[in-house]
Amino acid sequence: MSKSLRLLRRIKGGVHPPENKYLTEDKPIVKIEAPHRVIIPLQQHIGTPCKPIVKKGDEVRVGTVVGDVETFVSAPVHCSVSGKVVQVAPQPNPLGRDVLSVIVENDGAYNMDPSVVPLPRWEDMEPGEIRDAIRDAGMVGLGGATFPTHVKLTPPREYPIDTIILNGAECEPYLTSDYRLLLEETNLVLEGMRIIMKTVGAEKGIIAIEDNKPQALKKFRGIELGREISMVSLRTSYPQGAEKVLITNLLGREVPSGGLPMNVGVVVNNVGTAHAIARYFNSGLPLTERVVTVTGSVIDQPSNLLIPLGTSFEAAIEACGGFKQEPAKVIMGGPMMGLAQHSLQVPVIKGTSGILSLSQQEVDYEMPAEPLCIRCGRCVDACPMNLIPTYLAANANAGKWEELRRFNILDCIECGCCNYVCPTKNPIVQLVKTGKVELARLKQREESRREESASQAKGGKDGE
C-alpha cells in the first residue's frame, strides 16, 4: 500500500470561503471540439512572447508549432486544430490586453502534425533530454501561473532539489479540474511526477491533497506509490495551495523574502502539469488542450471540459448548455484570484483553469468611492505571507513606491484573503497590483539609465 499521512497543522492566516465545488466535482471530464475558428495567442506563459513562424495561408495541423523564440524563459505555442491560418494579428486576450495571435480556420478533421509521435522511454533518457522535450512540448504551470516548466526544472547547481511537491490542493472555490484528473488520470499524474523527480534528481516526492477531496485521497491510498513518494492529506483552507504556503506546511521550510522554492531545495508542480507531461511522453501530443472547469450559478450544466486551446469562452459555455440567465460577471479562474472578462470572444489559454459565471446577486456589493481602512486588522490576520496588506494598499494609493519595497510588496501572492475579510471592501489586491506594476516600471527606468550612463562613459573613453 502507499505511504500516506494526515497533516493536522493549519496554515497561518487564510480564509474559508464557500467552496461551491458540488456543482462539478462529480462531473467526469468531457472532451469538446473547437469552434470553426480558434485564436492561438503567442504568449501563454510568463516570459518572452513567441514570434510567429507561420503566416496567412499556411496549412497547420494539431501539434504544429505556430510560435517560438530562442529566449530561455519562454515556451513554444502549438496549434490545437488542423486547418488554414487566416490571420496573424493582435487579438483580445483573457489577461486583459491584446496579444499577437494566430487565427486558424478549423477544418474539423483534427489531423495530427507528423511530429506528434510517442517519445522514447523517459526512464532511458538523460535529465537534460527530458528538459528539452518538456520545453518542446510547450509545457507551463497549469495551475494558473504559466511559468515555463523547463525553466522551473533547471535550478542552478548551488540549489540542489531534494523534494518535489505535486500540488493537488486546488483550494480555489468552484474549481475541480485537478480533482477530476486525480480521479480519472491517476496513473498519468503519478507518472508525470516521477518524470519530474528524475529531471531534477529529487529523492523525495509528496502528493498534497486537501481533505475536502476524500475520493481522490482514497484513490491514491489504494495504489502503490513507491518508497520515495508519499501522499499528504491537508486541512482544507484557502490559500493552502499557494506554493510557499505548501512548502512551509509540508516541510517546515520558509522560502526567503524575494526567493523561490528552489532556494530551499523544492520544486512545486501542479497536478495538471504532471498529467500533461506524462501524456506528452506517451503520445507525443504537446500542450494543445487542457481541462477547464466551466461553472457558476448561471451556467445551465456546469462541467469539467477538455478544451482545445484557442476555443472561445463563448463556445466553452455553449458546450455546457449556455446561460440560464444573464451573468453579471464572467471570470477566468476562481472567485479569489480570477480575472473578470469584458468579452466572451477571448480564447481559452494554457492558464485557463476555470470559467466562472456569477449572477448579479452574487456580485452585488458596493465598492467605496475611495479606499477606506478602519484599522480593524482583519487583513493582517488573514494574510498567509505575514504582510501588512493595509499598509501596502495605503502606500500604493499615495504613490509611495519606495515604501512598498520596505513592506515587501513583492512577497504578496495576490491570493485575495485581505479583500475577502475587509469590512469596507477596500480594493487591497487591486492597489497592490498597481504598486507592483509601478515598481517594475521604476526598475526598468533605473536599468535604462544605468545602461545609458555606461554607454556614454564607454563613448567618452573611445573618443580619447
Whole-angstrom Cα distance, residue 362 to residue 327?
10
Q: What is the pLDDT of residues 213-224, one digit of tens each?
A: 999 999 999 998
CATH level 3 topology of 3-27+131-283:
Rossmann fold (3.40.50)
At 363 the pLDDT is 86
What does the pLDDT look like over 281-316, one tens digit per residue? Answer: 999 999 999 999 999 999 999 999 999 999 999 999
Give me the phi and psi of 53, to 5 degrees please: -120, 15
> Grid coordinates representing 441?
516600471
State how far the Cα of 416 lies from the Cα of 427, in Å rounded to an integer: 10
Q: Could you read off the pLDDT of 392-417 as tens digits, one per residue? A: 999 999 999 989 999 999 999 999 99
* DSSP 8-state secondary structure symbol assigned to residue 11: P
Q: Are 129 and 26 in contact (CB under 8 A)?
A: no
- Distance, in Å, from the CA atom of 24 to the CA atom of 1, rounded to the nearest integer, reads 30
**Identity of the amino acid at 256:** P
Write out pLDDT tens, residues 12-58.
Answer: 889 999 999 999 999 999 999 999 999 999 999 999 999 999 999 99
Sheet holding 98-106, edge to edge: 37-41, 98-106, 83-92, 59-60
The number of residues making up the chain comes to 464
Domain residue spans in the chain? 3-27+131-283, 369-464
Q: Is 339 helix (H, G, I), strand (E, B) or coil?
A: strand
Work out the percent of the chain whose per-residue pLDDT is above 90. 86
For residues 233 and 391, give the distance between their C-alpha atoms in angstroms, rounded to a whole number: 35
For strands 289-295 and 303-308, give the pairing.
antiparallel
Maximum CA extent, the chain: 77
